[in-house]
Structure 1
């Protein structure tokens, strides 16, 4: 078991943690998650295990992209990617600023949903990203049809900028500053 890079305790759901994806070890698990119908917006529904392994080996080798396996109480439960938006197609849709970081996240398909789980996951991912003092703003570009993610993004402070065309989708370009995130997740804070 690799030591997590980041851990966060959720008052209702317990311990969440992140560790780097190990493409050789994690590919079978990621393949199951990414090809599940729930993961349709990741555009990997027809990917083979070999395709997934190749993708995550390429991300591991990239200086502009990282992938992390998320753990809940020590068990794999979600995936997140952090990337330099200037190195991705979304970086052509807006003026990338110093301190911008891009993010994707996916919760594992579950037979029995746990209330509040996905919100705790995105809160953990955002806390992880803002744990780096150089990060000033998080950029996301989910598919415009992914209404569940739009609601979650709003709950942690994202504000929609506009719809942009990206490879394979029309995306809702949204941003969240450190201050917006803190206000959104701090009890009693006003936005």
Structure 2
């Protein structure tokens, strides 16, 4: 069964793990900051560098109202620090490139510039996001389609337990298709913790 992001029964309380908190995006409070983040040089793979703040707001308003996707703002020490979009791949162009299964949740994430660089920060954020998707959204698999040229995220994906399934040509990029099961994620975390 696909995740119904508009369902009244979906737990909408903030999700807290490893000292980080996830809450649904607040369009009034978050968009100006997200717009600044997306203009940064390293945000090139996100594809929104040339969008106006109004265009970013419209994009996220449409995403939230779609019923088959949601954006969540991640907080660290009470301040916005990262963003994740979760979506039903059956309602996305990606769903035309692989066999969508019940319980699949597509994911994009962006980590804002930290106030103080912290070793392992992005890995910590990624772990929390994966736990959120598996535990709160009850996903069976997380599906990602990063740009083939984004070497850094491919390393992180493999560390989280993603299995790569080839490449797909999407309208805006040549992407790698990768999937991670609940078991694959938790196994990868156990292996990482073994000295």
Given candidates 107, 112, 137, the residue that maps to 2:111 is 107
The 3 A distance-change label for structure 1 pair 29 and 188 is closer
Q: Counterparts of 1:176 and 1:166 in 2: how far apart (Å)?
A: 20
What is residue 3 of structure 2 aligned with on the other side? none
Q: Counterparts of 1:18 and 1:133 in 2: how far apart (Å)?
A: 12
Counting only pairs closer than 5 Å after superposition, residues 14-163 of structure 1 correspond to structure 2 as: 15-110=19-114, 112-132=116-136, 134-163=138-167
Q: Which stretches in structure 2 are left out of the alignment for 5+ residues?
A: 1-11
Q: Counterparts of 2:112 and 2:13 in 1: how far apart (Å)?
A: 18
TM-aligned CA deviation for residue 59 of structure 1: 1.0
What is residue 5 of structure 2 aligned with on the other side? none
SS in 1 for 2:82: strand
Q: Counterparts of 1:188 and 1:82 in 2: how far apart (Å)?
A: 25
TM-aligned CA deviation for residue 134 of structure 1: 3.7
Q: Counterparts of 2:13 and 2:119 in 1: how far apart (Å)?
A: 24
The 3 A distance-change label for structure 1 pair 109 and 86 is same
Contact 1:183 1:189 in 2 (8 A): no
Q: Counterparts of 1:188 and 1:95 in 2: how far apart (Å)?
A: 30
C-alpha deviations, 1:30-83, integer Å up to 9, x for none? 101112111110110101101111111111111111000001122111000100
RMSD after superposition: 1.7
TM-aligned CA deviation for residue 188 of structure 1: 6.5
Q: Which stretches in structure 1 are left out of the alignment for 5+ residues?
A: 10-14
What is residue 12 of structure 1 aligned with on the other side? none
C-alpha deviations, 1:154-178, integer Å up to 9, x for none? 1110011011001210000000000
TM-aligned CA deviation for residue 5 of structure 1: 2.1
Q: Counterparts of 1:25 and 1:65 in 2: how far apart (Å)?
A: 19
- Structure with bigger RCO (C-alpha 8 Å, 6+ apart): 2
TM-aligned CA deviation for residue 125 of structure 1: 0.3
What is residue 7 of structure 2 aligned with on the other side? none
C-alpha deviations, 1:115-148, integer Å up to 9, x for none? 1000001100000000047411000000000010
Contact 1:81 1:103 in 2 (8 A): yes
